[in-house]
Structure 1
Amino acid sequence: MKVASRKAVPTDVYLSFVSSLFENRYTLFTGMVVHILTFLAIYAKSGDAFYLFLCVGFVAVFANRIYWFTRFQKTDKTELTRSDIRRWELRYVLGAASTAGILGIGSGYALLVLQDSFAELASIAVTMASMVSVVGRNYGSRLAVDLQTLACCLPMVVGSLLAQDLYKAVLSLMLIPFGMTTRAMANGVREFLYENVIASREMARIAESFDTALTNMTHGLIMLDPNNRIEVINRKACELLHLGERKRLTNCDLDVVLRYGVRHSFVDGSMPSLIQKQLAQLIDGSTSRAVMQFSDDLILEFSASRRPQGGVVLIFEDVTARIRADRKILHMVRYDSLTGLPQRGYFSELVKEKATQQADAGRIGFMVLDVDEFKHVNDTKGHMTGDRLLVTIANRLLELAAGEAIVGHFVGDQFVLFFPGRGGDTDIEARMRSIHASVAGNYEVEASHIAVTFSAGCVIQDSAELRMEEWQIKADLALYEAKSRSRGRLVVFAEEMDARYMERQRLKTDLRAAVERGEISVAYQPMFKPDGSALECCEALARWTHPEKGAIAPDIFIQIAEEMGIVSDITRQVIEKACRDCVKWPEHITVSVNLSVQDLRNELIINTVKSVLAETGLASHRLHLEVTESSLIEELSTVRLILEQLRSYGITIAIDDFGTGFSSLSYLDTLPVDVVKIDRSFVRNICEDVRRLKLLRGIVTLSRGLNLQIVVEGVETREQLALLIKHNCADLIQGYVYSMPVAAESIAEISQLASRKQFEARTYVA
């Protein structure tokens, strides 16, 4: 078999050949000493300093070769690529060829220049000895053999030929077959070793194939005779069962082997009764498959096949990872990954199981807890803090509910508790209220103290009436009722809540239909100069008259529209009607329209306003758009950009209900605002409360300093009006003291009366 080319030789074989070149550096030292001593002897005999120069060359080459030998020994061979191995081979070849070249030059020089018998004999002898060692040391590299042979022989051939001595020339030509023989011998050694390596590898592959077939990859195999003795056992079986060397297990009783056969066996002398029973059932044919847990770290799945001549073949595999994965998947399905509490589906299973175990029919309860203002925690402190707060809440609930209730986590910031009956205990509501009161309070999360309250909806019913889908709906209705009243409340479900819920759902359906048909009407609240001498602006107010229920309060149907996501449709209709009506009024009267939070979440409102102004022909300066402070909290930067674009078209921007939100004063500086509408809460009781009047005057002073127009809302009495006029607190007055909301057709008439000073203030009586 001929050695393939270097590129065809497997990398590991190539590495072994190159490694053989660097194996024995001590012979390298011996050769160097012999070479130097020989050339020093020639120098002593001939006095030619050329050989001293060659000795220096030997030392330099030797130092370089020792350096690379040392580096190779320290190199991690497993990290070498084929190109790396090639570079190491070239480093060795360069050093070896340099040594051979110095020897050859020394011999050729002796033949050509010195023509001294001792010099010729000594140099040629040491050179030939080195060539002989080429076979033993350099068979691993064809290039090393070729270059060293050439470097040794060529200078001697050239020196002999140039010496013009016929006998030396003939003798030197004999070096050619000698070099070829040396090369052939080295190649023969390399080919022999290569064949053996390949043959060994093939034998190992065949042996591995048989062993792999026997062990069936990850499966263990035990073949038992009719007497339950082991006939064949593979290596994998010994590894899985910790049985040691398999050869010593042949003809041993399986039960004895598992109990006593191995000193370090993980199965103790008594053997767990379940494992023993399962093995016995497999062997006698009662079952054909079984999963056995030998320890926390080892779970094996066995299958058994009966042999025709008696006995059984047991095949088994390690299914620890699979069982753990199945258990983990089951745990992930059942439990919330964040809090570790049961999720909705598994919580329902636990409730049904607990209810089934309840011997006597009795009262049971459910409570759904919702974290108040949880979104505010996420927005201000980050979602990671929010998640850790939920974990802390879950831990506190588990402590409070221990022995009282089953705790689950549905979604987001919502927790649920099931209270089973306790004998004659009928006061489940008291248990619920106790946990609800205890779970609220301060929570310390990442060095932050967070005050948390919970809105809770509860259902109390007989265990015989348990319907999982029904109690969830009822609890959600009670929770909705609790949140609609005020934060931190607990409300127990009552049947009328269901009726209110259904009524609200019908109202949603009717409102959607009314919006689609354009049935939202508009009324206008006039804004007058403080002395009532002129009507300057009118605020457009959306109105909806239900065909059966009559007029629906704006705070009801606007809230419903926001829940349904259709409030922007109402805004568009109000803007269209307000602009069409304003065109018909005297030119000095402007109209003001409120924008909702949803209107300010994107730039669609800009296109809406532009298209309505273009359709109606209303001048942009006659349209005012009002935004509430609550709409500024969520996305202040987005709102600022939208308002700046609207204002650039000449539209007036007003802040409505000023003073009721957060950081009110900062908005006056950061937003493109023209008008400040001071909330009615600042006007109430200003005649009796001096501090409230001072606060109002302070806001007015600040606003006027920023060149903002001031509208005071909710003025209802002549006394309030007189006080506002006295202290010059308003540019415009809006309130029942002058007018309630009126139809569009009445605006022109009211404006005429005001201009004739025939419109008087009055005290509104609710």
Structure 2
Amino acid sequence: MQPARTAAFANDVRLSFVASLYQKRGTLFAGMIAHVVTTMAIYIRIDEPFYLYAALALFVIWLGRTIDMMLFDRLDKSKFQLADTLRWEKRYVAGSLVAAFALGLMSGHALVMAQDPFAELAAISVTVATMISVVGRNFGSKLNVDMIILAACLPMMAGFFMAHDPFMMVLGVLLLPLFLTTRSMANGVRDFLFNSVIAERKTGEIAEKFDTALNNMSHGLFMLDGDGRIEVANRKAHEYFHIDADINLTGRALKAALRLGARNGFIAKENFADINEHFDKLISGREQRALVRFDARSWLEFSARHRGQKGVVLTFEDVSARIQSDKRILHMARFDNLTGLPNRSWFKEVVETKMAKAKSGQSLALAVLDIDDFKHVNDTMGHVSGDKLLSAIATRLGSLSRQKFVISRFGGDEFVLFIPHVEDERDLQITMNHVIDTLRGTYIIDGHKLFISLSGGVAMAPVAGAAIEGLHIQADLALYEAKRRDKNRWVLFEESMNQQYSARQRLKVDLREAIRTQSMTLAYQPMFNPQGTRIAGAEALSRWLHPELGPISPADYIPLAEEMGIISDLTRCVVDQAARDCASWPSNLFVSINLSAHDLGDREIIAVIADALDRNNLAAERLQLEVTESGLMGELETARSILSELRAMGMSIAIDDFGTGYSSLSYLDKLPLNKVKIDRSFISELTDDPSKLKLLRGVVHLSRELGLEIVVEGVETQEQLKVIRDNNCADLIQGYIFGMPMPMGAFVELATTLSRGEKSSVARPAAMKSH
């Protein structure tokens, strides 16, 4: 304890000692009566007036001291400072000093003057008795003890010596040890009580601090004795068990606290036996820690510290929030945040557990489901609506999972189903048809009706030797086959699909190498004037001659390049080679190049094209860039910015396959276009369906009103060509009727031949006119 605090304690105790001097005035009154009666008896015995005056003086002294004590009683002791205590102590000592001196003087007078045995005995007896009373009543002040002893002792000793009797003088000397012993006893009592009070107050303060700390600690605490009864229970323990704070648990068995908690609804009755079992283990030492569930939402974690035969201390805290948080974290780690279905890792754990428990002779299946054209939903309605659709599909899947499936969302729009028991392929067919029929149909998303279909791939295998990763790969291959077959179906994996997959993977490797080594070639399909007498330019078409498999169709390897993310590398090769070839052509010919959706989303394509033009010294006006509507749907603003910059450099921009998209007309106004290439779907039934001609004429009229050139693709017959010519529906024609894609040499030769023929046909009429 700090010195200042100890001094405060000492001052407080000193005040209590001084206050004790002013108390028990009944003993003071009894002493006064004894003194006055004894003095009066001496007076009557020897008829000495001195003793009459002494009796009167003792009475007056008592009366003054009593009045002083009454004044002390009226004071507010809580405001006392040390100086106040000392002042009142001195006032009391003054009264004691006068009273003791009067008794001592009376004893000395009896020894010297009266010389009466009765007077001497009586006076000395009351004086010595008064000094001895110091031990019982006046010990509270050391000064008071000293003053009383000196005031009584000195006159009495003087009387013995003044008697001039050796024996009386011996008695006078022998009084000294008595007086010293009395003083020592009084001081000893005072010091003992002082130290005891100090220690008691320190102990009280420590106990108060301990009680404060105990009741303010964040943990609950039960201290049990060797019989399992509660010795200490803090405030938090009452709170955790929902027990009123004024209920004293001391001396009760721990189960009494449990019963009170159950009565207040904190402890669920079905958990009572389990809680009791945990407590028995904690108290007996079989458990050091225990997590105990009290009801559906309340958990307490207990720790036990044993004290040998003295019992055990149980500390506990409410961990309900932590348990709920752990559950949420575990749920987030195991389940998809959007759909609430198991995620990939938790799905794998659950499936492996079920596979381990499956009978060796049974079969199982894994299905991978994919929403058909889900990208179209995201592109047209936004990702928020797409997420709502995924959640709606997951809800329908959830109704299936309660039957016999384990279902997961692996990401995107891919859902995976594990069927732990399949009888045969017929049983699998019934199950999968039910799944597809349940999921296929109309969904209401943000007020819009969406008809959704799904494609699925399924792998089936005996449980013995089956591996989830292998089944997933096989199901993915089957899903790819289902999509290849126009979607909206499910396909069971066959071994041939694995061979096709291997071949596809090999083709990917070879395609990457072909692009890297620039071993791919270009073919050129010419664009003619409507009369077919002149070539204006050509569309560059990439061609891949595989060293082992022969020619590979662009319809096969271009989607493969997009899937691999190397379509931009392919574009770079085409741009560079087409620019190099066109630079060697007659200057009146242009070359047209197709840009992919990936190209239109990356501004790097601008630098690629500019470098190719500079490297091959080709004028920008001789390069035409073709974009498809599907390539514009992803990031229209980015694509428009890129195309605007390319057109500002001098290149022509044409929209390819016009008429196949849902918003074709809007692009004519939004994009920096020069040309419109009308898709072959407009031309194929042109001679059979009059409405097709009206539609074609309307598109042509609208495009020309916007200042755009018209290129018609897919013209294959003379009838189609005649209708187009008669209705003036084309500025350029690209089709098999005039020319198929051909090597560069054949294209240049054909263009040169037509150019010569056109010049000679113009020259002959002029010569004939001159003749």
The 5 Å alignment of 1:215-294 reads 217-245=217-245, 248-259=248-259, 264=264, 266-267=266-267, 272-294=272-294
- Give the secondary-structure state (helix, strand or coil) at the position aligned to 1:716: coil
In structure 2, relative to structure 1, the CA distance for the partners of 1:493 and 1:615 (3 Å cut) is: same
Q: Which residue of 1 aligns with 2:673?
A: 673
Q: Which residue of 2 aligns with 1:648?
A: 648
Deviation at 1:212, TM superposition (A): 5.5
In structure 2, relative to structure 1, the CA distance for the partners of 1:362 and 1:269 (3 Å cut) is: closer
Unaligned runs of at least 5 residues, structure 2: 1-201, 760-771
> Is contact 1:299-1:318 (8 Å) kept?
yes
Deviation at 1:668, TM superposition (A): 2.0
Deviation at 1:422, TM superposition (A): 6.2
- Give the secondary-structure state (helix, strand or coil) at the position aligned to 1:515: helix
Deviation at 1:467, TM superposition (A): 0.9
Deviation at 1:542, TM superposition (A): 0.9
Larger deviation, residues 295-304 vs 718-727: 718-727
- Give the secondary-structure state (helix, strand or coil) at the position aligned to 2:397: helix
Aligned length: 558
Partner Cα distance (2:424, 2:539) in 1: 62
Write the deviation string for residues 402-426 of structure 1: whole angstroms up to 9, x where unpaired.
3132222221222222223267895
> Is contact 1:716-1:735 (8 Å) kept?
yes
In structure 2, relative to structure 1, the CA distance for the partners of 1:206 and 1:663 (3 Å cut) is: farther
> Is contact 1:364-1:419 (8 Å) kept?
yes
The 5 Å alignment of 1:350-361 reads 350-359=350-359, 361=361
The 5 Å alignment of 1:146-545 reads 209-211=209-211, 213-214=213-214, 217-245=217-245, 248-259=248-259, 264=264, 266-267=266-267, 272-359=272-359, 361-421=361-421, 427-545=427-545
TM-score (norm 2): 0.68
> Is contact 1:533-1:756 (8 Å) kept?
no
In structure 2, relative to structure 1, the CA distance for the partners of 1:683 and 1:330 (3 Å cut) is: same
The 5 Å alignment of 1:526-675 reads 526-675=526-675
Partner Cα distance (2:683, 2:340) in 1: 52
Write the deviation string for residues 66-112 of structure 1: whole angstroms up to 9, x where unpaired.
xxxxxxxxxxxxxxxxxxxxxxxxxxxxxxxxxxxxxxxxxxxxxxx
Deviation at 1:541, TM superposition (A): 0.8
Deviation at 1:401, TM superposition (A): 4.3
> Which protein is bigger by CA-based radius of gyration?
2
Equivalent AA in structure 2 for residue 562 of structure 1: E
Partner Cα distance (2:425, 2:537) in 1: 65
Deviation at 1:288, TM superposition (A): 1.9
TM-score (norm 1): 0.68
- Give the secondary-structure state (helix, strand or coil) at the position aligned to 2:716: coil
Partner Cα distance (1:627, 1:204) in 2: 92
Q: Which residue of 2 aligns with 1:744?
A: 744
> Is contact 1:218-1:318 (8 Å) kept?
no
> Is contact 1:369-1:457 (8 Å) kept?
yes
In structure 2, relative to structure 1, the CA distance for the partners of 1:368 and 1:206 (3 Å cut) is: farther
Deviation at 1:348, TM superposition (A): 2.1
- Give the secondary-structure state (helix, strand or coil) at the position aligned to 1:365: strand
Deviation at 1:436, TM superposition (A): 0.7
In structure 2, relative to structure 1, the CA distance for the partners of 1:360 and 1:269 (3 Å cut) is: closer
Partner Cα distance (2:204, 2:393) in 1: 62
Deviation at 1:660, TM superposition (A): 1.1
Asked if 1:735 is matched to 2:735, the reply is yes
- Give the secondary-structure state (helix, strand or coil) at the position aligned to 2:459: strand
- Give the secondary-structure state (helix, strand or coil) at the position aligned to 1:301: strand
- Give the secondary-structure state (helix, strand or coil) at the position aligned to 1:751: helix
Partner Cα distance (2:574, 2:608) in 1: 11
- Give the secondary-structure state (helix, strand or coil) at the position aligned to 2:308: coil
Write the deviation string for residues 252-293 of structure 1: whole angstroms up to 9, x where unpaired.
222244336996373478972111111112222222221111
Larger deviation, residues 457-466 vs 352-361: 352-361
> Is contact 1:364-1:421 (8 Å) kept?
yes
Partner Cα distance (2:261, 2:330) in 1: 38
Partner Cα distance (1:457, 1:679) in 2: 34
Larger deviation, residues 727-736 vs 435-444: 727-736
Deviation at 1:649, TM superposition (A): 1.9
Q: Which residue of 2 aligns with 1:690?
A: 690
> Is contact 1:260-1:269 (8 Å) kept?
no
Partner Cα distance (1:424, 1:415) in 2: 23
Write the deviation string for residues 298-339 of structure 1: whole angstroms up to 9, x where unpaired.
211122222233422222222212222112211111122222
In structure 2, relative to structure 1, the CA distance for the partners of 1:683 and 1:203 (3 Å cut) is: farther
Larger deviation, residues 254-263 vs 433-442: 254-263
Partner Cα distance (1:229, 1:316) in 2: 17
Write the deviation string for residues 130-187 of structure 1: whole angstroms up to 9, x where unpaired.
xxxxxxxxxxxxxxxxxxxxxxxxxxxxxxxxxxxxxxxxxxxxxxxxxxxxxxxxxx
- Give the secondary-structure state (helix, strand or coil) at the position aligned to 1:427: helix
In structure 2, relative to structure 1, the CA distance for the partners of 1:425 and 1:246 (3 Å cut) is: farther
- Give the secondary-structure state (helix, strand or coil) at the position aligned to 2:442: strand
- Give the secondary-structure state (helix, strand or coil) at the position aligned to 1:302: strand
In structure 2, relative to structure 1, the CA distance for the partners of 1:274 and 1:545 (3 Å cut) is: same
Deviation at 1:750, TM superposition (A): 0.6
Deviation at 1:530, TM superposition (A): 2.2
> Is contact 1:520-1:570 (8 Å) kept?
no
Larger deviation, residues 234-243 vs 353-362: 353-362
Deviation at 1:601, TM superposition (A): 0.9
Equivalent AA in structure 1 for residue 472 of structure 2: Q
What's the Cα RMSD here?
A: 2.7
Partner Cα distance (2:429, 2:617) in 1: 63
Deviation at 1:432, TM superposition (A): 0.9
In structure 2, relative to structure 1, the CA distance for the partners of 1:425 and 1:214 (3 Å cut) is: farther
Write the deviation string for residues 730-759 of structure 1: whole angstroms up to 9, x where unpaired.
222212222222221223321232235499
> Is contact 1:259-1:270 (8 Å) kept?
no
Deviation at 1:427, TM superposition (A): 0.8
> Is contact 2:538-2:592 (8 Å) kept?
yes
Equivalent AA in structure 1 for residue 373 of structure 2: E
Deviation at 1:438, TM superposition (A): 2.1
Partner Cα distance (1:264, 1:441) in 2: 53
Equivalent AA in structure 2 for residue 286 of structure 1: R
Write the deviation string for residues 642-693 of structure 1: whole angstroms up to 9, x where unpaired.
2222122221111111111122122222222222211122221323333323
Larger deviation, residues 433-442 vs 727-736: 727-736
Unaligned runs of at least 5 residues, structure 1: 1-201, 760-766
Partner Cα distance (1:571, 1:270) in 2: 71
> Is contact 1:443-1:451 (8 Å) kept?
yes
In structure 2, relative to structure 1, the CA distance for the partners of 1:361 and 1:643 (3 Å cut) is: same
Equivalent AA in structure 1 for residue 301 of structure 2: E
Deviation at 1:539, TM superposition (A): 0.9
Deviation at 1:559, TM superposition (A): 1.2
Q: Which residue of 2 aligns with 1:114?
A: none
Write the deviation string for residues 350-400 of structure 1: whole angstroms up to 9, x where unpaired.
223333444463222222222223233233333332222222211112224
Q: Which residue of 2 aligns with 1:21?
A: none
- Give the secondary-structure state (helix, strand or coil) at the position aligned to 1:242: coil
Q: Which residue of 2 aligns with 1:5?
A: none
- Give the secondary-structure state (helix, strand or coil) at the position aligned to 2:316: strand
Partner Cα distance (1:601, 1:632) in 2: 9
Partner Cα distance (1:291, 1:439) in 2: 43
Write the deviation string for residues 486-523 of structure 1: whole angstroms up to 9, x where unpaired.
23221222222222222222222221222121212111
Write the deviation string for residues 220-240 of structure 1: whole angstroms up to 9, x where unpaired.
222222222222222222222
Q: What's the % identity of the aligned pairs?
A: 48
Partner Cα distance (2:316, 2:660) in 1: 73
Partner Cα distance (2:433, 2:693) in 1: 43
Q: Which residue of 1 aligns with 2:754?
A: 754
Q: Which residue of 1 aligns with 2:108?
A: none
> Is contact 1:238-1:246 (8 Å) kept?
no
- Give the secondary-structure state (helix, strand or coil) at the position aligned to 1:339: coil
- Give the secondary-structure state (helix, strand or coil) at the position aligned to 1:548: coil
In structure 2, relative to structure 1, the CA distance for the partners of 1:571 and 1:205 (3 Å cut) is: farther
Partner Cα distance (1:710, 1:316) in 2: 84
